[in-house]
């Protein structure tokens, strides 16, 4: 089935199911001579693994990254890189009760209807675990970004209905929800605790900022930089919306307010989010990603089984309360892959 690969020159293919033997990624088109070790990959992988916050599952996913190919003596060789991660904490019995029943909000029903067969354990390929391969690939893409002095950060802009009002870069690492506003974090924490008590789940908004991106990246018209970023993040499970720069807010403004005026020293504002006509304009790229609440909840809801019998379901197992904050690094990884791909594409024309 096509659809598991992404990118043009820096091309990734993720493989594996949540409860199969292993999951991972192959990357074709990575340039030679970049520094790459399992430790470099692991550093990013560790930011995705659960256990860091109340909003994450109690599953123990060590996610040890194994580089199988494409690296020699700590440098990429220009040949395909394969990275795999063993699934060590795959407790299939946790999922036997949902073998023939569809969880509302999850991909069980659509996978069954499309393929007529599915690995029901943990959602198979529609599991959040698939994102481990993306993060491994992201760590390689980030080496390309690093070689160009490009920086990328992500943080939680909104969580469980609470917005971050202040922005303090140093606060992001000081709280488990990766929020740049400690006061907002405390309110978020209350909401998350209340959702946990209710057996429910929550969503939120992640913001990613990419700094020092050169102008000129993006391939109009179908591979515009913003179009590729949107596809990259929309392909992550639970992502339901993407905004670049002012995004939906721009609809409420007049052109005179929304335009970024131009001076010999650059733009006076960044409502465009660093992209004009699908091409980077040299300003920071700003992306906001809307993340829905986790579908698997303890609260009982109506559903059907594979024979279309009306049933009730309450999903037990060990689920996240929210994809946030684990999804933050996945968004960073996917956007890094897009930027890396476009850097390599730009090198072919300039
Ligand atoms: C990092 C991450 C972790 C996730 N954890 C869970 C989980 O524990 N339980 C669950 O039901 N869904 C989880 N999801 C969400 C499902 O993967 C997603 O909702 C499902 O595939 C349906 O796809 P859709 O929400 O994009 O329509 C997670 C997603 C991500 C990105």
With a 6 Å cutoff on the Cβ, whether 131 touches ligand 1 is: yes
Mean pLDDT of 54-81: 91
In 3D, which of 112, 339, 80, 94 has the Cα closest to residue 214?
A: 339
Residue-level pLDDT at 97:
76
Distance 259 CA to ligand 1 centre (A): 37
As a whole number, the mean pLDDT across the chain is: 95
pLDDT tens digits for 282-336?
Answer: 999 999 999 999 999 999 999 999 999 999 999 988 889 999 999 999 999 999 9
- Rounded distance between C-alpha atoms, residue 38 and residue 145, angstroms: 18
Distance 287 CA to ligand 1 centre (A): 20
Strand order of the sheet with strand 22-28? 5-6, 11-15, 22-28, 81-86, 65-69
- pLDDT > 70: what percent of the chain? 97
Instruction: Give yes or no for a contact between 182 and 175, defined as CB atoms under 8 angstroms apart.
Output: yes
With a 6 Å cutoff on the Cβ, whether 322 touches ligand 1 is: no
CATH architecture of 5-347: 4-Layer Sandwich (3.60)
Is the model's pLDDT at 91 over the cut of 70?
A: no
- Determine which of 6-15, 51-60, 287-296 has the lowest per-residue pLDDT on average: 51-60
- pLDDT > 90: what percent of the chain? 88
Angle, to 10 degrees, between the axis of helix 326-347 and the axis of helix 225-234? Answer: 150
Residue 11 structure tokens: 């091309």
Model confidence at 90, pLDDT cuts 50, 70, 90, reads low
Q: How far is CA 178 from CA 13, 165, 188, 222, 235, in A?
A: 29, 14, 11, 33, 22
Burial class (CB in 10 A: 0-12, 13-18, 19+), 86: middle
Distance 126 CA to ligand 1 centre (A): 7
**Chain center to CA of 65:** 18
Model confidence at 243, pLDDT cuts 50, 70, 90, reads very high
**What's the DSSP call for residue 185?**
H
Instruction: Give yes or no for a contact between 238 and 292, defined as CB atoms under 8 angstroms apart.
Output: yes
Distance 241 CA to ligand 1 centre (A): 15
- Whose Cα sits closest to atom 19 in ligand 1? 238
Write the secondary structure of 258-296 as one string of H (helix), E (strand) and C (coil): HCCCEECCEECCCCCCCEECCEECCCCEEEEEEECCCCC
Q: Taking the CB of residue 197, how many other CB atoms lie within 10 A of it?
A: 8
Instruction: Give yes or no for a contact between 25 and 13, defined as CB atoms under 8 angstroms apart.
Output: yes
Residue-level pLDDT at 94:
63
Instruction: Give yes or no for a contact between 245 and 274, defined as CB atoms under 8 angstroms apart.
Output: yes
With a 6 Å cutoff on the Cβ, whether 106 touches ligand 1 is: yes
- Rounded distance between C-alpha atoms, residue 260 and residue 265, angstroms: 13
- Rounded distance between C-alpha atoms, residue 185 and residue 26, angstroms: 37
Residue in the structure block whose two tokens are 């429910």: 200
- Rounded distance between C-alpha atoms, residue 156 and residue 179, angstroms: 5
Q: Taking the CB of residue 52, how many other CB atoms lie within 10 A of it?
A: 15
Model confidence at 56, pLDDT cuts 50, 70, 90, reads confident
């Amino acid at each position: 089935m096509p659809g598991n690969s992404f990118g043009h020159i820096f091309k990734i293919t993720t493989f594996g199911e949540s409860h199969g033997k292993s999951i991972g990624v192959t990357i074709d088109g990575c340039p030679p001579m970049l520094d790459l070790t399992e430790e470099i990959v692991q550093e990013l992988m560790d930011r995705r693994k659960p256990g860091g916050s109340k909003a994450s599952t109690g599953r123990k996913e060590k996610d040890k990254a194994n580089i199988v190919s494409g690296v020699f003596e700590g440098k990429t060789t220009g040949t395909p890189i394969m990275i795999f991660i063993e699934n060590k904490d795959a407790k299939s019995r946790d999922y036997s009760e949902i073998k023939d029943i569809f969880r509302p909000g999850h991909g069980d029903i659509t996978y069954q209807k499309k393929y007529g067969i599915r690995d029901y354990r943990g959602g198979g390929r529609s599991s959040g675990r698939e994102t481990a391969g993306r993060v491994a690939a992201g760590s390689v893409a980030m080496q390309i970004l690093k070689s160009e002095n490009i920086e990328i950060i992500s943080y939680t802009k909104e969580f469980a209905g609470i917005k971050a009002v202040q922005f303090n870069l140093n606060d992001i690492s000081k709280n488990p929800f990766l929020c740049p506003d400690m006061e907002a974090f405390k309110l978020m924490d209350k909401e998350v605790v209340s959702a946990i008590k209710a057996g429910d789940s929550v969503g939120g908004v992640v913001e990613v900022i990419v700094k020092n991106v050169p102008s000129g990246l993006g391939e109009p018209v179908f591979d515009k930089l913003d179009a590729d970023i949107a596809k990259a993040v929309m392909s992550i499970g639970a992502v339901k919306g993407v905004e670049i720069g002012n995004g939906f807010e721009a609809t409420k403004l007049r052109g005179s307010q929304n335009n970024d005026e131009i001076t010999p020293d650059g733009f006076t504002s960044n409502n465009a989010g660093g992209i004009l006509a699908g091409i980077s304009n040299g300003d920071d790229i700003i992306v906001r990603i809307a993340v829905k609440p986790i579908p698997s909840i303890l609260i009982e809801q109506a559903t059907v089984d594979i024979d279309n019998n009306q049933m009730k379901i309450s999903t037990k197992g060990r689920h996240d309360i929210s994809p946030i904050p684990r999804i933050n690094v996945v968004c960073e990884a996917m956007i890094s892959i897009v930027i890396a791909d476009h850097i390599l594409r730009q090198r072919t024309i300039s």
